[in-house]
Amino acid sequence: MFYQKTIRDSVKFEGIGLHSGENVGMVLCPAPPDTGVVFRSNGVSIAALHENVADTSYATSLLKDGVRVRTVEHLLSALAGLSIDNLYVELSGDELPIMDGSAWPFVKALKEAGLVTQGAPRRFLKVVRPITVHEGDKSATLLPSSVTQMTFRIDFDHPMLHDQRYAMELDPEGFEVELSKARTFAFRRDADMLTRAGLGKGGSAENVVILEEDGIFNEEGLRYPDEFVRHKMMDAVGDLSLIGMPFIGHLVADKSGHKLNQRLVAEVMRQTGSWIVVEGGATEQADVSSNSYTLAEAM
């Protein structure tokens, strides 16, 4: 995990956009060290960075030079969860395919394509002082920690989503097993509102867990007993990857979603004295900035 990674072979996907309802093609391609994740659509390259976030309503969208790419969080989550640093994402439309509503189809295909370790060390943002944001009774906080871990709580007005909690240490195996298959969810009662907003046109029981008044519509049932909070955690892994490097810290979130996740990322970018950049690598270590350390020194 201390060296940057890309994929060995390109991977193709075709599917429907959750909000646009349009068919879209996507190709994931290997990229050289220090590229990061870059989306390419309509001749424009858009780096997966917070500075390019355009919207967080029911999904995370990026925008540059008038070109928008929507619903990027599940793919970004799969990449961050598997510790893949460098990738080109070629899109035929303005929204990523939703697949089954989780990160699992991306995880499976990426692993089949093969992960390649590159020569450059990974850079990590290590939290050294607490960073927190609030919105009413919602909050998201990054705390200092020697490992990357997450503690989440959600609480919706529904018997299946009341006071649901989950905590875990985040590593590639844990992400794949515990988070990657958790699907997005929506309330049937919100269908008309989403339609009026021009959203959810591609949503169905094939890619969304649909909540009715006291249960779920999907015949498949749930993949995890607490699938809903795990999906919020999976989303957060993708959203926080827009920092531009993996973080070492403890993410504690209470009822957080895309909007608050990005407010936290913005606060991280503002509070430069609350973190340091560390590099990992078994051989040579190079400073990134005047207050940088090697990973071994920082941990």
Q: Which residues belong to the active site?
A: 258
Separation CA 157–CA 70 (nearest Å): 28
Are 261 and 273 spatial neighbours (Cβ–Cβ below 8 Å)? no
Separation CA 194–CA 178 (nearest Å): 29
Separation CA 225–CA 240 (nearest Å): 25
Nearest to 158 by CA among 188, 194, 178: 188
Separation CA 88–CA 210 (nearest Å): 32
Angle between helices 73-81 and 104-113 (to 10 degrees): 50
Structural tokens at position 79? 């990449």
Backbone Cα Rg of the chain: 18
- Sign of torsion over alpha carbons 46, 235, 222, 218: negative
Nearest to 39 by CA among 76, 89, 93, 97: 89
Structural tokens at position 17? 């956009």
3-state secondary structure of 102: coil
Are 267 and 247 spatial neighbours (Cβ–Cβ below 8 Å)? no
